[in-house]
């Protein structure tokens, strides 16, 4: 407990405490009203920067107690709402790297740029699991797996917060959305997740626990509900579990209008007063865009319906974070003048984009060689908005008709340049995009491709199919994209398909009939460059899928860590299993595994990996386990460790891994996390498919 915080708290009036618990959206509220809030001692603003933020901060500092305001922003893939900032691939694309350092660097660069704009706090990372790809926000996640998500999220938090939150370039992170938001029934955004608390603890909590352990300064409450209880009103989740069991000591902010929606959308409170009471009692410390909370909470305390100690506790959490951030000494973060969008940061975004490209099929056509004419086809191949996807200055908080700001390159531009340097000519034709429009011209695309030595067809989705409120019932590649593929295929020219999308899509005949398939997801400013470099063999593809691809929309969920079922998990009208599995990804070389060992006493393991091809490569060694007999059903396999190893042609290395006993735990019927002694299987190999994994059995004894 800090003397500074306690002394401030002791001086605060009820009104000042209530104001500290409010977060105001500047744009929606307007300048005059925002300045009034600042003078009342409001806790935070979101989505305002530059001179407007400075003016608001000055108003807050000149209020009675002069408590600085905290500025938050959705800098979720770089500081991407600022059109001059560095735009990274989406979280999903970055997750294909399976690389903690790449993700940490992304966090650090983002922090530096956000801090340079005078801001303190990003609403990132997003730790929800994408187990149903129909959900609109899959692009914002690290994929479907709890272990990979937890590892990458804690790396990102370290990047944002650094070793010292008060350092000029460090900003506060926000682990969101607490909890099970991605598991909403039918993948309907902000809907009810019909899961038990046992399931929540078993499957959805672990990444958030890692965020707590990484010192994450803030958490955000999800919009939805768990088994009918809105998260905003769930004191068991926010107090007993998050604070008492998980040990979180930062502050909790609600998501956008969560208090208001308890009344207007979820019908869980009869009026704003009751909603405010529920939200405060449940343990939300700061209310994002529910300004009515201010009057309501003051009235509740005055009428004796709410103990003022609840406010004290919330304000203490908020002030403690402000103190950890050094805001009482230095209210404005400094960053590094001139760093926004600078060359070094663009290079970091390019590194991330390169590592996110994932090769799923290659019938010998890639890398493209001895080609004189390459046809690049598809709207996404030359449309930077589609390459970016969600949460950039074009798209959020609401669509804005901005002009794109360089540097960036689309696939077409990068191919023209790189292929040109190798003496090859590129032609481009749109053909069509994901949403039919008047300019669609399939005939023109076929004509443009005729006579080419190779075709690069870019397919995917676009912004109207991505994000909040935009869940899809049908994941099939939309519009005339499949028809375009068929017509190009009929030309008999080597055909490479590039999927540039926000999520896994159902690709119809493409996986079987294309000669090569690359997944780029949304690669950010340099996504086009990264794809071109892979196509032309300038770099090795090294991405691995962080999420499974279904064969059909009706087949979801197809995540790899399914529970074993008595009748199996299959449909009678589809082959079993996903079209592409978690962990899959090819290189231009091949790897062979041998000699898996595991010692159940020391929990040390090792496996040998050899590069058996003729090009260098980066392999991601994936380690899974199965609990053979358990009191509650446990997944057929679960990722437990991964490590990356660079291998020259012919080179072999032994990769060692050290596990912990708790890695083999489950959450039992009493909601306790325990290890049940007995037989286990450890698996290691290239991806999550049985045929890619070596196995050893071992027994864990009583502790
Ligand atoms: C709503 C989104 O759910 C959340 O992720 C975001 O951080 C806030 N709005 C603020 O924009």
Tens digit of each residue's pLDDT (9 = 90 or more) over 311-357: 999 999 999 999 999 999 999 988 888 999 999 999 999 999 999 99
Element (H, E) at 94: helix 91-95
Topology, domain 347-555: Rossmann fold (3.40.50)
Residue nearest to atom 9 of ligand 1 (CA): 256
**For the residues 643-647, what does the mean pLDDT come to?**
98
What confidence tens digit (pLDDT) does each residue in 122-178 have? 999 999 999 999 999 999 999 999 999 999 999 999 999 999 999 999 999 999 999
From CA 274, how far away is CA 19, in angstroms rounded? Answer: 18
Atom of ligand 1 at shortest range from CA of 468: 3
User: Ligand 1: does its nearest atom lie under 6 Å from the Cβ of 256?
Assistant: yes
pLDDT, averaged across the chain: 97
How far, in Å, are 43, 234, 565, 668 from residue 633 at the CA level?
45, 27, 9, 9
Atom of ligand 1 nearest to the CA of 190: 3
For a mutational test of ligand 1's pocket, the pick from 288, 393, 396, 466, i.e. the residue with the most ligand atoms closer than 8 A to its C-beta, is 288
Model confidence at 397: pLDDT above 70? no
Kindly report, residue by residue over 576-612, the tens digit of the pLDDT.
Answer: 899 999 999 999 999 999 999 999 999 999 999 999 9
Name the residue of 74, 119, 391 whose CB sits within 8 Å of the most ligand 1 atoms, as the mutation to test its pocket.
74
Residue of 256, 287, 392, 395 to mutate, ligand 1, most atoms within 8 A of C-beta:
256
pLDDT tens, residue by residue, 234-250: 999 999 999 999 999 99
Is 102 buried (19+), middle (13-18) or exposed (0-12) by CB count in 10 A? Answer: buried
256 CA → ligand 1 middle, Å: 6
What is the distance in A from the centroid of ligand 1 to the CA of 688?
A: 32
CA atoms within 13 A on the CB side of 393: 18
Name the H helices within 247-342: 258-264, 272-282, 292-302, 308-324
The Cβ-side half-sphere exposure at 100, using a 13 Å CA radius, reads 13
Identify the residue whose C-alpha is closest to ligand 1 atom 3.
Answer: 255
Q: Is 703 exposed, middle or buried (0-12, 13-18, 19+ CB in 10 A)?
A: exposed
Shortest CA distance to 580 belongs to which of 407, 359, 325, 373? 359
Helical ranges in 389-495 per DSSP H: 411-421, 442-449, 481-489
Q: Does the pLDDT of residue 395 top 90, yes or no?
A: no
Q: Using a 6 Å cutoff on CB, does residue 113 contact ligand 1?
A: no
Q: Residue 568: pLDDT above 80?
A: no
Checking if the pLDDT of 404 tops 90, the result is: yes
What lies within 8 Å, CB to CB, of 572 at 6+ separation is: none
Please say if the pLDDT value at position 692 is more than 70.
yes
**What pLDDT was estimated at residue 401?**
78
Record: fold of 591-700: Immunoglobulin-like (2.60.40)
Ligand 1 mean position to 279 CA, how many Å?
Answer: 18
Predicted pLDDT of residue 164: 97
Residue 23 alpha carbon to ligand 1 centre in Å = 12
- How would you classify residue 267: left for phi > 0, otherwise alpha for psi between -120 and 50, otherwise beta? left
CA of 396, closest atom in ligand 1: 11
Report the distance separating Cα 507 and Cα 519, nearest Å. Answer: 12
Residues 431 and 400: beta-carbon distance below 8 Å:
no
Indicate which atom in ligand 1 lies nearest the CA of residue 174: 7
Atom of ligand 1 nearest to the CA of 126: 5
pLDDT of 266 reads 97
> How many degrees, rounded to 5, is the angle at CA 287 between CA 58 and CA 392?
75
pLDDT for 131? 98
Catalytic residues: 255
Looking at residue 38, what is its pLDDT?
98
CA 396 to ligand 1 center in whole angstroms:
10
CA 76 to ligand 1: nearest atom? 7
- Chain segment 405-451, per-residue pLDDT in tens: 999 999 999 999 999 999 999 999 999 999 999 999 999 999 999 99
Domain boundaries, the chain: 3-324, 347-555, 591-700
- 129 Cα–ligand 1 center, Å: 16
Predicted TM-score of the model (pTM): 0.98
DSSP state of 232: G
In terms of Cα–Cα distance, which of 460, 463, 457 is closest to 445? 457
Q: Do the strands 604-611 and 591-599 form a parallel or antiparallel pair, or are they unpaired? A: antiparallel
Q: What percent of the chain has pLDDT over 90?
A: 96
Contact, 149 vs 127, CB < 8 A?
yes
The predicted-structure confidence for 511-563, as pLDDT tens digits, reads as follows: 999 999 999 999 999 999 999 999 999 999 999 999 999 999 999 999 999 99
Q: How far apart are CA 465 and CA 482, in angstroms?
A: 17
Residue 566: what pLDDT?
81
Pocket test for ligand 1, best of 123, 160, 191 (most atoms within 8 A of CB): 123
123 lines ligand 1 (CB under 6 A): yes
Span 476-515, pLDDT tens digits: 999 999 999 999 999 999 999 999 999 999 999 999 999 9
- pLDDT of res. 484: 98
Phi, psi (rounded to 5 degrees) for 645: -140, 130
At 402 the pLDDT is 86
On the question of a cis peptide bond just before residue 179, with omega within 30 degrees of 0, the verdict is yes
pLDDT for res 545: 99
HSE at residue 280, side-chain half, CA atoms within 13 A, is 32
Residue 176, ligand 1, Cβ within 6 A = yes
Same fold, 3-324 and 347-555: no
At 208-217, the pLDDT tens digits run 999 999 999 9
Q: How far, in Å, CA of 47 to CA of 53, rounded?
A: 9
For the chain, how are helix, strand and coil distributed in percent, rounded to 5? 35, 20, 45
As a whole number, mean pLDDT of residues 371-390 equals: 97
Scored b (16 or more CB within 10 A) or e, 336-354 reads eeebbbbeebbebbbbbbb
Query: What is the pLDDT, as a whole number, of residue 477?
Result: 98
In this predicted model, what pLDDT tens digit does every residue of 655-667 receive, in sequence order?
999 999 999 999 9
The predicted pLDDT at position 555 comes to 95
74 pLDDT band, cuts 50/70/90, is very high
Calculate the CA dihedral of residues 600, 601, 604, 607 and round it to 10 degrees: -40
CATH of domain 3-324: 3.20.20.300
Which residues, other chains included, contact 679 with Cβ-Cβ below 8 Å and sequence gap of 6+?
628, 629, 697, 698, 699
Neighbour-count burial of 379, counting CB atoms closer than 10 A to its CB (0-12 exposed, 13-18 middle, 19+ buried): buried
Beta strand pairing call for 516-519 and 358-362: antiparallel
Ligand 1: centre distance to CA 212 (Å):
20
């Amino acid at each position: 407990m800090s003397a500074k915080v306690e002394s401030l708290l002791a001086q605060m009036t009820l009104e000042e405490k209530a104001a500290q618990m409010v977060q105001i959206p500047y744009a929606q509220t307007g300048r005059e009203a925002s300045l009034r809030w600042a003078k009342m001692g409001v806790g935070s603003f979101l989505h305002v920067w530059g001179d407007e933020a400075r003016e608001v901060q000055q108003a807050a500092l000149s209020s009675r107690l002069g408590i600085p305001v905290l500025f938050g922003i959705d800098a979720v893939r770089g500081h991407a709402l600022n059109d001059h900032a560095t735009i990274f691939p989406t979280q999903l694309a970055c997750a294909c790297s399976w690389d903690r350092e790449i993700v940490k660097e992304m966090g650090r660069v983002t922090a530096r740029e956000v801090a340079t704009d005078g801001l303190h706090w990003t609403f990132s990372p997003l730790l929800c699991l994408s187990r149903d790809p129909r959900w609109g926000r899959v692009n914002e996640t690290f994929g479907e797996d709890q272990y990979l998500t937890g590892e990458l999220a804690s790396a990102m938090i370290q990047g944002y917060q650094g070793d010292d939150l008060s350092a000029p370039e460090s900003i506060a992170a926000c682990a969101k959305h607490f909890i099970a938001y991605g598991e909403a029934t039918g993948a309907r955004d902000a809907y009810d997740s019909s899961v038990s608390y046992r399931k929540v603890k078993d499957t959805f909590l672990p990444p958030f626990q890692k965020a707590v352990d990484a010192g994450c300064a803030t958490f955000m409450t999800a919009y939805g509900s768990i088994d009918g209880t809105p998260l905003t009103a769930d004191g068991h989740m926010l107090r007993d579990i998050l604070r008492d069991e998980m040990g979180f000591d930062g502050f909790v902010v609600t998501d956008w209008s969560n208090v208001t929606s308890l009344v207007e959308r979820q019908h869980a409170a009869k009026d704003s007063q009751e909603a405010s009471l529920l939200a405060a009692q449940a343990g939300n410390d700061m209310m994002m865009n529910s300004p009515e909370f201010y009057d309501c909470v003051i009235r509740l305390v005055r009428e004796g319906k709410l103990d003022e100690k609840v406010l004290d506790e919330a304000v203490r959490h908020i002030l403690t974070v402000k103190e950890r951030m050094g805001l009482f000494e230095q209210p404005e973060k400094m960053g590094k003048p001139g760093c926004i969008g600078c060359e070094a940061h663009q290079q970091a975004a390019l590194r991330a984009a390169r590592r996110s490209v994932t090769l799923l099929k290659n019938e010998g056509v890639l890398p493209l060689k001895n080609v004189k004419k390459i046809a690049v086809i598809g709207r996404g191949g030359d449309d930077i908005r589609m390459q970016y996807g969600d949460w950039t200055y074009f798209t959020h908080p609401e669509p804005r008709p901005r002009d794109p700001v360089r540097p960036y390159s689309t696939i077409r531009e990068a191919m023209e340049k790189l292929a040109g340097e190798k003496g090859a000519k590129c032609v481009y034709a749109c053909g069509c995009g994901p949403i039919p429009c008047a300019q669609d011209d399939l005939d023109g695309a076929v004509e443009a491709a005729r006579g080419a030595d190779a075709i690069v067809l870019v397919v995917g989705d676009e912004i109207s199919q991505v994000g909040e409120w935009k869940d899809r019932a049908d994941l099939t590649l939309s519009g005339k994209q499949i028809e375009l593929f068929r017509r190009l295929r009929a030309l008999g020219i080597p055909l490479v398909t590039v999927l540039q999308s926000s999520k896994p899509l159902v690709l119809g005949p493409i996986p079987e009939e294309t000669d090569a398939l690359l997944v780029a997801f949304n690669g950010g400013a340099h996504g086009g460059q990264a794809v071109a470099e892979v196509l032309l063999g300038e770099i090795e593809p090294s991405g691995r899928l962080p999420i499974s691809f279904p064969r059909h929309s009706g087949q979801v969920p197809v995540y790899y860590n399914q529970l074993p079922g008595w009748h199996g998990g299959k449909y009678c009208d589809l082959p079993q299993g996903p079209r592409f599995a978690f962990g899959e990804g090819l290189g231009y070389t091949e790897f062979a595994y041998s000699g898996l060992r595991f010692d159940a006493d020391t929990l040390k393991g090792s496996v040998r990996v050899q590069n058996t091809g003729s090009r260098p490569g980066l392999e991601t060694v994936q380690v899974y386990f199965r609990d053979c007999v358990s009191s509650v059903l446990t997944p057929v396999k679960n990722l437990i460790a991964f490590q990356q190893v660079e291998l020259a042609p012919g080179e072999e290395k032994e990769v060692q891994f050290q596990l912990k006993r708790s890695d083999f735990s489950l959450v039992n019927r009493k909601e306790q996390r325990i290890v049940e002694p007995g037989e286990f299987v450890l698996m290691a190999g290239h991806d999550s498919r049985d045929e890619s994994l070596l196995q050893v059995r071992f027994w864990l004894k009583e502790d």
